[in-house]
Chain A
Amino acid sequence: MTAGRGDAVSGGAGPVADWATDFDHTDPAWVADPYPIWADLRQRCPVAHSNRYGGAWLPVTHELVSEVAYDTEHFTSRSVVVSQRRPGPDAPPAPVGLSPPISSDPPFHGAARRMLLPAFTPKAIASLEPYTRELCRELLAATAGRSCFDAATEYAQHIPVRIIVKFLGFPEEDADLFRAFIKGVLEGINEPLDRRDVLLGDLDGYIDAQIADHIAHPRDDVTSFLLQAEIGGTRLTRNHVRGTMILLMIAGIDTTWSAIGASLWHLAQHPADRRRMAAEPELMGTAVEELLRAYAPVTMARLVSRDFDFHGHQLTEGDWLLLSFPAANRDPAAFEAAGEVRLDRASNRHVAFGLGRHRCLGSNLARMELRVALEEWLARYPDFGLADAAAVSWSAGQIRGPRTLPVSVR
């Protein structure tokens, strides 16, 4: 069994027999509406297992999700996206991982993360707010005169793409290309491995071209910063720079696109919440946190570092574990009326951005983008609804958000 750890493992094809023993986060039922599945598992398990992907676990309570997030001894971050290929125990990049610091373990993780933190403080992010607001207004202006359009593809998705383009200093016209890469990495986990390898190779090639361009023409952006950065007096390796750039690109785009889209999906169907947000602008901060709790887009993954007993379950080295922050956020043991959106929820220790040392680096950026996107949307379209509820589609895999969201505006 261990000999195959670095090799191909089974995928997620085929219908799910029982969510407790055969779960699959790419199954159409999960993609359409995962919340009843988790509620059922909370009663029955609360740690589900699947033989898919070479063996995977899924705790669905806030308590167990927290325990795993804090336990970097039994769980490694060397691969955070479940796929058909797991890094073997001797796969080269440990403890750096393919995309530091998300894929790194302590102690290397700390240094790789500290270097990036100053770029993401509230003060640093506040400087991007006017640009974000202008961008939202521009996107909304482009919808003028239309009664029906796709809020996911014509509004939500462009906001984080344009911000990350600016952040990393990539050509703006490459936005469609990034989206194809990101979709491939996050949603293409059941694609044939050779096709997946081509995609990952193309992504590396694209990033290398951007690095070469930044070496030839240094400028004031995160890519140039990474090329100059040092850890312990040594410049970062090329693999480290490329991996961090891929991380910032992937982690910064689908996630926020999903949070903006899911919030608009909620507001489209809840006129009372819409009216309240318009009438009480001071509620925006609390409302944004509640929307993040209820529609947390991001599920991370860990690999089990060594065999051990986890609450009566025999975890084996190399097993995947899906770290579902969205499921933790819907746990009634941790949140009163967990299934309800209460825009004025005063006590809200939600874990949409994770917990512990891997807390989402970009949380301040994501919050700012979500808040500004909603403020500008509601200012322009205080009254809107779903144009076709059946046409709404959701992304598959570890990032959950609407990918088609036809709305009618008034």
Chain B
Amino acid sequence: MPAATFRVHVDPGKCQGHNRCYSLCPELFELDDLGMSSEIGSGAVPADLVAQARLAVANCPEYAISLTEVRP
């Protein structure tokens, strides 16, 4: 069975622009002109950034970030 892959997503209805995710993992998140965050591209998380993605989830004061396992 191939290894699980992960996808990260920022709920735009919850993000208030604290920028914690962006400062912890700029490889996965980007900010718009107002400082609101969203996942870069499809949100696919390379294997070597899974720990960073978990950190972003665990530091979002608004509980706006989700990390889901994608089965191939």
Contacts and interface: CB of A to CB of B under 8 A. Distances in A.
B59 A347 contact: yes
Interface in B27-69: 31, 33-35, 55, 58-63
Contact of B61 (A346, A349, A357, A364): A349
Contacts of A332: none
A15 to B, nearest CB: 36
Interface in B8-36: 16-20, 22-24, 31, 33-35
Given A285-B23, A357-B16, A363-B19, A349 B59 contact: yes
Interface in A296-355: 346-351, 353, 355
A364 B19 CA distance: 8
Contacts of A237: none
A364 B60 CA distance: 15
A359 interface: yes
B34 A117 contact: yes
Given A285-B23, A359-B18, A363-B19, A121 B61 contact: no
Contact of A121 (B34, B58, B60, B62): B34
A359 B59 contact: no
Given A346-B58, A349-B59, A355-B62, A120 B35 contact: yes
A117 B17 contact: yes
Contacts of A121: 19, 31, 33-35
A236 B19 CA distance: 28
A353 B55 contact: no
Nearest to B23: A285
Interface in A116-132: 117-118, 120-123
Nearest to A360: B18
B35 A349 contact: no
Contacts of A285: 23-24
A350 B58 CA distance: 10
A347 B63 CA distance: 12
A9 B17 CA distance: 37
A355 B63 CA distance: 10
B58 A122 contact: no
B59 A289 contact: yes
Contacts of B34: 114, 117-118, 121
B61 A355 contact: yes
A349 B16 contact: no
A356 interface: yes
Contacts of A359: 16-18, 61-62
Contacts of A363: 18-19
Contacts of A114: 34
Contacts of B24: 285
Among A121, A123, A353, the most chain B Cβ lie within 10 Å of the Cβ of A121
A347 B62 contact: no
A128 B50 CA distance: 32
A347 B58 contact: yes
Nearest to B51: A346
Interface in A347-406: 347-351, 353, 355-357, 359, 363-364
Contacts of B58: 346-349
Contacts of B17: 117, 359
A57 B63 CA distance: 26
B11 to A, nearest CB: 13
Nearest to A347: B58
B2 to A, nearest CB: 28
Interface of B: 16-20, 22-24, 31, 33-35, 55, 58-63
Interface of A: 114, 117-118, 120-123, 285, 289, 346-351, 353, 355-357, 359, 363-364
Top 10 nearest A-B pairs by Cβ distance? Answer: A347-B58, A117-B34, A359-B16, A121-B35, A349-B61, A118-B33, A351-B61, A348-B59, A117-B35, A122-B19
10 contacts: A118-B34, A121-B31, A121-B35, A122-B19, A285-B24, A347-B58, A347-B59, A351-B61, A359-B17, A359-B61
Given A121-B19, A121-B35, A346-B55, 7 more contacts: A117-B17, A118-B34, A121-B33, A349-B60, A349-B61, A355-B16, A357-B16
